[in-house]
Structures are given as C-alpha cells and as structure tokens.
Amino acid sequence: MNSMKAKISEIFKSIQGEGVYQGVEQVFVRFYGCNVHCSFCDTKLTGYSEKTVNEVLDDIVSLGECGSVSLTGGEPLVQADYVKILSAKLKAMGKIVYLETNGIMYESLKEVIDYIDVVSMDFKLPSSTKLINFWQEHERFLEVAKAKEVFVKAVIGKGTEREDIIESIRIIKRIKPDTPFVLQPQNPFEELLSEKLVFLSDICLREHIDVRTMCQLHKILGVK
C-alpha cells in the first residue's frame, strides 16, 4: 500500500476560492486527470509527478500548519484507491478532508466517503458544459455524499438554460433539500451575466433552495 503512487500535478497552500468555504486557508493536492472535458474548464493540467502517499503527506507537512486539505483536480476520484488511503492518513493526522469533485463517479465516492468530511460537488449543467447530461450520476452521487457535509456548485455562462437549473432543483429537493446550491459565474468580470444570475437565483428561492451566487475569489484576487 505504501508503494502505491498517484499522478499529482501540484501541492500548494492558498485560500479556497469557490463555494461555501470560500476564503478558508487550505492545502491543495491537485490530482492529474479527469473523466470529463467541460468547455469552460480553467484547470489545464500539462504535467504531473508520481508520488506515494507518504511523499504527499511530507509535502503537506512541509507547507506548515493548516487544518484543512482539499483533494482537487482534475478529478480525484479517477484515482479513488489512492484517495482512500491518503484520506485515511489525513484523518489520522487530525486534518479536515475536503473533496472537490465533478459529482459523477458515485461508485468511487462510496469507497472513500467514510474518510471525507466535506464534499464540494459539481452539477455539470449540459447547457454550460456543452456535454451530455449527467443528471442520473449527480443524483446517485448526492445520495452517497449526503452522509457528510455537502454542497453543490454549478457554473453559469451565457448559454446556461433555465431548464438545467430546474432539474438541479428537482435533484436537490428529492435527495437533500437543505443542500446549499452555489451558482458560480463562468467569468466573474462578465457584467452581462448579472441579470441571468439574478433570474436563476429567483427560481431557486421560489423553490426554497439555499442558493448562493458566488464568484471565484481567487480569480478576483489574482492568487493561485
């Protein structure tokens, strides 16, 4: 087990730029590789190092005191066996384990959920991603994730359609009605998105969804 390696693009300390933990200092372990290719993806990973779990833990410790570790990507659950071992060791060290995921690989989530504290999952809206829909996968994923603290993020762009938000609401209300739903503008500097965000937020509010409209803080501050 100790010899297992994963493809790791980078390990660094910064502030969380997205979701309900925005502004919290975290160590980020960025996994290489993803199972989807969204049109708006802003994480273009060009390289990686193969690291054992102990090597990753050493890198985390070298960055100094930090109580929360974000497993991000790419998509961490592509390397779920490794995530399970790493998360268990992080928990043993007293760290909060925060999983950032596209919310699709629900079978892999079942393998690691016992060692995760917070799940930050995406709803990949087809009108935003320009991909097929993943509604069934998202529903099953949230069903597993609800055992822990969980919130949902969705990227909102010029082409995002009202029907995708309505379907997102349906899933949230069926599985875990109090789940925070974060609407995240694709471009935080796009003024034309403001009207759409207000419109979509109002739909959520009418359905009693805990909706939050939040820009990506790290982009605004110009930090990693």
Residue 87 sits in a domain of what CATH number? 3.20.20.70
pLDDT digit string (tens) for 147-184? 999 999 999 998 999 999 999 999 999 999 999 999 99
Query: How wide is the angle at C-alpha 219 spanned by C-alphas 118 and 18, nearest 5°?
Result: 15
| 159 contacts: CB under 8 Å, gap ≥ 6 | 127, 128, 130
Give the residue carrying structure tokens 């974000």.
70
Q: How high is the pLDDT of residue 22?
A: 93
- Look at the pTM and tell me if it is higher than 0.75: yes
**Total domain count, the chain:** 1
**Which of 183, 187, 180 has the alpha carbon at shortest distance from 154?**
183
**What are the C-alpha distances in Å from 181 to residues 59, 63, 88?**
33, 32, 28
What is the domain range of residue 165? 5-221
Contact 50, 6 (CB under 8 A): yes
Ranges of the chain whose pLDDT falls below 50:
none
Q: How high is the pLDDT of residue 59?
A: 97
Contact 153, 120 (CB under 8 A): yes
Give DSSP secondary structure letters for 75-104: -GGGGHHHHHHHHHHHHHTTPEEEEEE-S-
Q: How high is the pLDDT of residue 117?
A: 98
